[in-house]
Amino acid sequence: MILKTKRLILRPPRKSDWKDVVEGVRDVEVTRNLKVVPYPYAKKDAIKWLNTTIKKWRKKEKEDYTFFIELKSEKKVIGATGIHRISKKNGKCSTGSWINKNYWRRGYILEAKIPVLDFIFNKLKLRKVETEAFVENIASNKMSQKLGFKKEGRKRKSIVDLATRKIHDENIYGLFKEEWLKTRPKIIKEVERKILGK
């Protein structure tokens, strides 16, 4: 399963991706916003995660898709975006992403989310996507809202961040297909502006 955009290839992981993963996740500015990623982050951590993720891709009945975001121009993995906790019974899933700090603010996550959300609603035929963000993670909260997610609540002192050992409140967001269809054209225009450097 491969998804493509103008600048990106979204694909399953390969064991050879470990160097790009370590480069992208070893910065505490990245790991402090991820729930279950240790800091410092080393090769053994990347290999362990890659092995787990590759096994999930091999399952016939998938409950998880983690797409690695490969930048076409550099043939390099710059992040990942996932579809997690897929429940056909309830018609929903969750999603999350990370990106190498060197590639922040260029619209790559927005660009990656277009085919991923299309895949969720059109191919998997799910009715709802959920996501969570630490209250302090301003960028992720803004990203969710920009994509059309609606804030549904807040979990107080919900999680201990593995990287920092701090306890965080989390904002909870949800997105239905009709909300995505309404937001999608705006996201496409914004990504086009990023590609043109505007």
pTM: 0.94
What is the reported pLDDT for 198?
67
Any idea which residue has 């995505």 for tokens? 180
DSSP structural state of residue 179 = H
Per DSSP, the residues of 24-53 read: HHSSHHHHTT-TT--SS--HHHHHHHHHHH
- Indicate whether 177 pLDDT > 80: yes
Q: What homologous superfamily does CATH list for 3-195?
A: Gcn5-related N-acetyltransferase (GNAT) (3.40.630.30)
What is the percent of the chain where pLDDT is above 70? Answer: 99
Dist CA 159 CA 180 (whole Å): 28
Report the mean per-residue pLDDT for the chain: 95
What is the reported pLDDT for 67?
98
What is the reported pLDDT for 163?
82
Strand partners, 159: 168
What is the reported pLDDT for 35?
84
DSSP structural state of residue 122 = I
Q: What is the pLDDT of residues 77-128, one digit of tens each?
A: 999 999 999 999 999 999 999 999 999 999 999 999 999 999 999 999 999 9
To 5 degrees, how large is the angle CA 143–CA 22–CA 31?
40
Other Cβ atoms less than 10 A from the Cβ of 76: the count is 16
Q: What is the mean pLDDT of residues 23-49?
A: 91
